[in-house]
Structure 1
């Protein structure tokens, strides 16, 4: 049986808010479903069953106030092994981080992701 792979993402609070807002607008999708939909928009094969994920999403009001002062926030997402493999191959082929490709996928869905956010995370940590 194939296992899911856990990936930790570090993004600005505004990106996490965009993911949550997109999820609320589209049948209460989970953050995982939004990310997988973004990867599918880039042409990465994502099993349809993996994209289905409906849950009660927190309102985010409390989270937004807590995260307002932070430059970046971290969260994890479980990706199916096949998606992880395709994402890793694409990252190697394009010489980009997996995180950057995920953010490009979110951008392809119409989420507002700034170009500097897609840049190397080490650059963000130095700012």
Structure 2
């Protein structure tokens, strides 16, 4: 599997569209996937919107439950890496991140001064 670092700053706006869910390692037993340190691996569905109307949806795996990440919130993804994979006739990309956190809310515009000019 080839790993490809991704420059998240060039991806545009990222919004959580599927809240974090524990990734299942074995569907028959319901066992969840753990990382090397024993932390549960979560999957988050993220919509990536670049300039204009172009948008993509990717699933990103991350170790540990991302606090504060819920559907509809813009997110900040740190340490995003893509992995190319192939299994038989199937192939694709999977994504992993060091962390996914809610993006800081944009600053509210300053209230305009109200007053009479007459």
Q: Normalising to structure 2: TM-score of the pair? A: 0.27
The structure with the greater share of residues assigned to helix is 1
TM-score, reference length from structure 1:
0.26
| Bigger strand fraction | 2
